[in-house]
Chains A and B, each alone.
Chain A
Amino acid sequence: MDRQADRRWPAIDALVTARSKALKRYAYLLCGSSHGADDLVQEALTRVLSRRMPTDPQELEKYVRRVIVNIVVDEARRTVRWGRLLPWVSARDEVMDRSGEIVERVALAEVLAALAPRQRACVVLRYYEDLPVDEIAALLGCGEGTVKSQLHDARRVLARRWDVPAGERTGIAKGDAR
């Protein structure tokens, strides 16, 4: 066992004791599954243990959250890459054409699951973590314009598909013909 990691364990234990529920919620919103969220938190803590980490508890939590979102986005990138290779190594499944179907309004979890991982991360960071756009951009390693564009696209999808009770809605998505 790494000696440095040994020294880092008490800080990690303290963080887990105090903030494991908050971290789990955050991870859950990003990945959409309870078991996945547990794995995500554990993987993030393992990565943090392997590196130099902040000693301040608040900074440490921020760092862990950043690692969590990076894992989610990186995993998504890997999946996309594998998706491109897959047709070369296996037969292609038949894909049903659903373009003509009427889009039904569904629960938020399902809409989030349909978002691209980076869009989903932007939504969670903006509306759950309440982070400003510039911080989200720094966290995701992209430009502010990209974050705004991702949020814009995500909000269009949410406005169109999210099943908010009719009485609670403030308006109707305009010009969204997609």
Chain B
Amino acid sequence: MTDSAYDAGLDDRKLRSALEELAEQSGPPGSLDRQKMQDDVARRARRRRFAATTSGVLLAVVAAVAVPVFLMDRVGGSGHQTAAPGTARPPGTPSGGPSKVAVGPDPEGLHYLSEAVLHLGQDEYGDIYGGMKVDDCKCSLTVYLTDIGRQGEFLAALQQRTSPIAPGLVTFTRSMFTTSRCRQLTGDVMDALAARSLPFVISRAWTGSGCSALNLGVDDVAAAQVYFADPANLAGFEGLVIAVEFSSSPPVLVPNRS
């Protein structure tokens, strides 16, 4: 589109020369007020520094909040395997651990019991403790142990802390790995996968109850299933079930797809 197409009746050359003439009327340039300019520059620099400091502090606060959440998600803390310590604590319970109180089949009691199981599993039975699953609907708690033969011993120790426990409230199931071994194995798998060229992006990783499986949130489920169906790709991870499901979260591993 040429300028003449914008309208008729206006001569571009005349407009150009008229603008030149008009510019001539601007008069001689005034001298610069250097002092004012220097003051303005200094003021702008101060304002920039303040803005940078403020945004840095805000960024640090956001990072302090977001990074632990992100890391928990990556390492495999699903959040529903173990009840978070400090939640639903009965009134008067000290924060160092649950004291010996009666536990009934109610949600509050269940959460209190899960806290006791967690302490016991991490402290005294770390060699066999494989996590737990709390079922709020059925009001039951499943404890995973690698040595199921010691369930009576575990229950007795638990009752010493929380007795009496309502019958049927706690059940036991065998798990493949202890929680610490599961965490280590998960870390190894993630490290190994990070070093490979994968045909999909991993955006989440978490373990199932009792470390029954390592669950991966991926962008391409079909490609991931094909990949993990090949035994050669699972070398070194024997015994660990890897399950995949679709996830659109931001990636934790971005493998080379080339």
Q: Which residues of A come within 8 Å of B, CB atoms?
A: 1-2, 5, 16, 20-21, 23-29, 34-35, 37-38, 41-42, 45-47, 49-50, 108-109, 112, 123-124, 126-128, 130, 148, 151-152, 155-156, 158-159, 162, 164, 168-174, 176
Contacting A at CB under 8 A, from B10-46, are: 10-12, 14-16, 18-20, 22-30, 32-33, 36-38, 40-42, 44-45
Chain B residues within 8 Å of chain A by Cβ, number: 35
Between A and B, 20 residue pairs with Cβ closer than 8 Å are A2-B42, A24-B28, A24-B29, A24-B30, A25-B26, A27-B26, A29-B22, A38-B30, A42-B32, A46-B36, A46-B44, A50-B41, A123-B15, A128-B19, A128-B23, A130-B16, A151-B3, A169-B11, A173-B10, A176-B7
Complex CA distance for A112 and B16, rounded to whole angstroms? 13
**Inter-chain contacts of A152 with B (CB < 8 A):** 6-7
Complex CA distance for A27 and B26, rounded to whole angstroms? 9
Say whether B8 faces chain A, with CB atoms less than 8 Å apart. Answer: yes
Q: Is the interface of B mostly helix, strand, loop or mixed?
A: helix
Partner of B26, one of A2, A5, A28: A28
Complex CA distance for A53 and B10, rounded to whole angstroms? 39
Contact yes or no, A127 B15, CB < 8 A: yes
**Inter-chain contacts of B8 with A (CB < 8 A):** 159, 171-174
In chain B, what residue has the closest Cβ to A37? Answer: B26
**Given pairs A24-B29, A50-B40, A164-B14, 13 additional interface contacts (CB within 8 A):** A2-B41, A5-B42, A21-B28, A25-B26, A28-B23, A28-B25, A46-B40, A109-B25, A124-B19, A128-B23, A159-B8, A159-B9, A171-B8
Contact yes or no, A148 B14, CB < 8 A: no
Taking the closest CB of chain B, its distance from the CB of A101, in whole angstroms, is 21
Contact yes or no, A42 B33, CB < 8 A: yes
Contact yes or no, B7 A45, CB < 8 A: no
Contact yes or no, A5 B29, CB < 8 A: no
Contact yes or no, B19 A29, CB < 8 A: yes
A170 in contact with B3 given A2-B42, A45-B37, A127-B16 (CB within 8 Å): no
Say whether B1 faces chain A, with CB atoms less than 8 Å apart. Answer: yes
Partner of B45, one of A2, A38, A173: A2
**Inter-chain contacts of B27 with A (CB < 8 A):** 24, 34
In chain B, what residue has the closest Cβ to A31? Answer: B26
Contact yes or no, B24 A25, CB < 8 A: yes
